[in-house]
Structure 1
């Protein structure tokens, strides 16, 4: 899989020296791109994959080329409390603890349905109950377990960043999508609740989403990692959820906003929904965040 490095921006100069980031689902796609970018910015990383040891090993090897010894990893189920505890033990042993949590691991629409066909979607009652439960455990319970594990240490240090990876609202209500959209809606509600619970502590919680379908293995077909247009530049097109739906976004679309959200400069921003494709890579991050953030809602508005 190819990981692009086109999305260089002003945020890439941010230093994360001394910080430790736990990135779930980092065997490929968004997680791998984030892992490489965070290490380039000086962070050390704890990496997980849920099902594929070979992919995780490949990411770890790529990180080791950039900064030997800057990463540890283990195969872990994001929805397993015992795996969460083991991850925290690993992080404390290797690096002393976690400063930044990126809840990226997720099971997609095809994981709960016997067949996933956007053109001819199956109704919700055809979903397989056991696999439906797995999607909910990974996408909703998993981020809770991870946050629950790392927040006490963050509170003790007076610094912490939690970034929950979400999806566009049209995807949340797509026919035939099984529980995927509902789990991401739940994650966004949790983002707001956790941010309110942690307000004033030095620990922030934000939701980050690409803003359209992206060139990762979650989208079937073609040469994964080489399907996004080479001339795409974030922040230069129509803003909003629907955005650039005629082409896939690059897999590293989340990198510039994630680096800034993880930094000390983002302390005033919490409980927000940030759309990565609207993050202008050529302007100051303090202005880019304003353009890429949805206005906070007093109450969720889904239907």
Structure 2
């Protein structure tokens, strides 16, 4: 992966303390990037991740406790990153709340109905998963446009999950984020700033999936056997499915790629970069069909 060097590139990863965010952060800092990690609730976990990454042979790593659902916090993250690194080159909108958070109990009730979910939790999920990426992107986009370079990478979910009823607003929020991504990509066309979507391709072994043993539950998976149908997988995917496409999207290798959607599960690191990207690129749906 030496040809995806990110030496000196300034990158923000929201929700960077664990799960997909930490997996991507480890690879990005090893490639030389300077990182600002954010988290909303687990200060100890975020600091532990920062210390672990700062000790690696790569770029610098900072961390801020900040809720992407708070516009002032988003502005503060952007300002702190620019103060520390001189600019912001890449934003990974990765922070998210689980669909299970809208239910009073644990997990996903088999027969959960929308009028029975917790209203405040529903609002918080939409604020984090849908409005939060907008506010973070709003905070960094003007500087990127002024410098003529930037990468916005929005972390999404499989299309079947967008209609997973027990998940409450999780799927619809991600569907809205993908629609927003396409609009932002169009509005930024020609500015040097690109907007793309990256998703695992199925449920991943992170804390967003209820249950014990987080980090030990991933099932065997071989990207060379793909491409796979989104969401169809017997078991959980390892967070590392995001690593190679995240490196590519953050690097100069993805110059000119804008308004596209990439499935991590279908990215085969054994293939050349361009070939792997072509296989992992999801077909564009030009005319939306919700119902």
Matched, 1:83 2:73: yes
Assess if the C-alpha contact under 8 Å between 1:27 and 1:55 holds in 2.
yes
Q: Evaluate the alpha carbon distance shift between residue 249 and residue 12 of structure 1 in structure 2; reply closer, same or farther with a 3 A threshold.
A: farther
Q: Evaluate the alpha carbon distance shift between residue 51 and residue 278 of structure 1 in structure 2; reply closer, same or farther with a 3 A threshold.
A: same
Aligned length: 291
Q: Which runs of 5+ in 1 are unaligned?
A: 1-10
Matched, 1:236 2:225: yes
Q: Distance in 1 between matches of 2:41 and 2:2?
A: 30
Assess if the C-alpha contact under 8 Å between 1:236 and 1:280 holds in 2.
no
Instruction: Classify the secondary structure of the residue corresponding to 1:154.
Output: helix
- Residue 139 of structure 2 corresponds to 149
Which structure carries more helix by proportion? 2
Which residue of 67, 74, 87 maps to 1:97? Answer: 87
Instruction: Classify the secondary structure of the residue corresponding to 2:258.
Output: coil
- Residue 173 of structure 1 corresponds to 163
Shift in Å at residue 81 of structure 1?
0.8
- Residue 262 of structure 2 corresponds to 274
Assess if the C-alpha contact under 8 Å between 2:10 and 2:34 holds in 1.
yes
Cα shift readout 1:138-177 (whole Å, capped 9, x = no counterpart): 0111100111111111111111100000001111111221
For normalisation by structure 1, the TM-score amounts to 0.92
Matched, 1:216 2:196: no
- Residue 106 of structure 1 corresponds to 96
Cα shift readout 1:194-239 (whole Å, capped 9, x = no counterpart): 000011111110110000111111112232112223x523242352
Matched, 1:294 2:275: no
Q: Distance in 2 between matches of 1:96 and 1:258?
A: 22
Q: Distance in 2 between matches of 1:16 and 1:201?
A: 21
- Structure with the larger RCO, 1 or 2 (CA within 8 Å, 6+ apart): 1
Q: Distance in 2 between matches of 1:69 and 1:15?
A: 11
Q: Evaluate the alpha carbon distance shift between residue 200 and residue 111 of structure 1 in structure 2; reply closer, same or farther with a 3 A threshold.
A: same
Out of 137-146 and 116-125, give the one that drifted further: 116-125
Shift in Å at residue 116 of structure 1?
5.1
Q: Distance in 2 between matches of 1:152 and 1:264?
A: 20
Assess if the C-alpha contact under 8 Å between 2:100 and 2:210 holds in 1.
no
Out of 141-150 and 110-119, give the one that drifted further: 110-119
- Residue 6 of structure 1 corresponds to none
Matched, 1:284 2:272: yes
